[in-house]
Amino acid sequence: MSVTEKQVQAALERLALPDGGTLISRDMLRALTIQPVANAGADAGERAAVKVSYVIEAPSPAIAQHMEPLRRATEAAVLALEGVVAVSAALTAHGPAPTGGLTAGRAGGAAAGGAAATAAPSLKIGGHPKPQAGPTKPAGVARILAVASGKGGVGKSTVSANLAVALARQGRRVGLLDADIYGPSQPRMMGVSGRPSSPDGKQIEPLRAHGVTLMSIGLMVEEDKAVVWRGPMLMGALQQMLGQVNWGELDVLIVDLPPGTGDVQLTLCTKSELSGAIVVSTPQDVALIDARKALDMFKTLKTPVLGLIENMSFFTCPDCGGEHHIFGHGGVAAEAKTLGLPLLGALPIDLETRLAGDAGTPVATGDGPVAQAYEQIAKGLIGGGMA
């Protein structure tokens, strides 16, 4: 049995920052990796010998200049863990974003060992996609599952976030890729705001929240800034977020697609080894018209549809307990039956879901009726070998 990430984080949690909080509570820990060390000898104790490496990202270069003693203290704390035979802690810092495009990196701070501050590598996002021989899949990712809708406003991103959390709570290793380039909402829904780093200028280190590994173009730009790109830029960005993000070992990568049947959907279905798709719709006829177009798109692109989810299926009155079907009743269930597809679940429209999404804590993290509904969907996907 080797040292786990949780044990390393617990060791770092015991070291307080001078101005309050810890590296963990202040979200300053990046790129934590644990690697086995061969021929370490008997000094490693009963645990398998490992080397631990991570990056400490300070809020500014000025603060980083005073954090070298803390960096050394973290190395000592982690080295004290049974089985750890080597520790490498790098110290970087936020800085002004480079001009000329979106980047995943930051201007650098002090390097490990107290070296002078140097510019950290940056990684430009967006651009023409690179040629590839055929459909690919990120290393270590077992399945890629797309969540789609024919139109906006049916709650596709809400379903994506909560389904990712529900699968993680079932013990699955889950990633969530926000592929809605023009309208990324996962950073807000998942409660993350830190910018991903790229220590080597080649790979992007994603963020984690609620047990889910997360990447979104919304983490690379200011929240109120529009992404004004043509199709090739979108395809290039999607290709980078799939292939240049250090996703690690995942059982399933959920891709939150933009609404409609455009460039991003075409790129994902033709350039990646997509395991299947889930289509989200509300029961009303207007939404179902567009949902059928999304279903036809996946059929044309020979992508298997794993099932449908009816969102905003009903509303339960908190005063009288009565059930009201604001957007109609049973439309998605009837469509699924007609097409011979599973109805994976019917989710209510309620205030708790909206408040949880705005607060950055998905409703699936709780234990209420809606969380239980997502739990049943997750169990159904796992039981069917789809996640």
Domains, the chain, ranges and CATH? 5-122 (3.30.300.130), 144-383 (3.40.50.300)
Average the pLDDT over 13-39 and give the result.
82
- Residue 107: pLDDT over 90: no
Average the pLDDT over 270-277 and give the result.
92
Beta carbons of 354 and 347 less than 8 angstroms apart: no
Question: What per-residue confidence (pLDDT) applies to 320?
Answer: 82
Closest CA to 114 of 179, 168, 65, 178: 65
Question: What per-residue confidence (pLDDT) applies to 198?
Answer: 82
pLDDT band, residue 377 (cuts 50/70/90): very high
pLDDT band, residue 178 (cuts 50/70/90): very high
Cα–Cα distance, 50 to 237 (Å, whole number): 35
Query: What percent of the chain is helix, strand and coil (3-state, nearest 5)?
Result: 30, 20, 45
Closest CA to 283 of 376, 356, 349, 375: 349
The model's pLDDT over 136-145, given as tens digits with 9 standing for 90+, comes to: 889 999 999 9
Beta carbons of 312 and 347 less than 8 angstroms apart: yes
pLDDT band, residue 41 (cuts 50/70/90): low
Closest CA to 352 of 335, 365, 340, 339: 365
pLDDT band, residue 127 (cuts 50/70/90): low
For residues 15-50, one letter each, b for 16 or more C-beta atoms within 10 angstroms of the residue's C-beta and e for the rest, the string is: eeeeeeeebeeeebbbbbbbeeeeeeeeebeeeebb
Average the pLDDT over 208-219 and give the result.
93
- Residue 46: pLDDT over 80: no
How big is the chain, counted in residues?
387
pLDDT band, residue 106 (cuts 50/70/90): very low
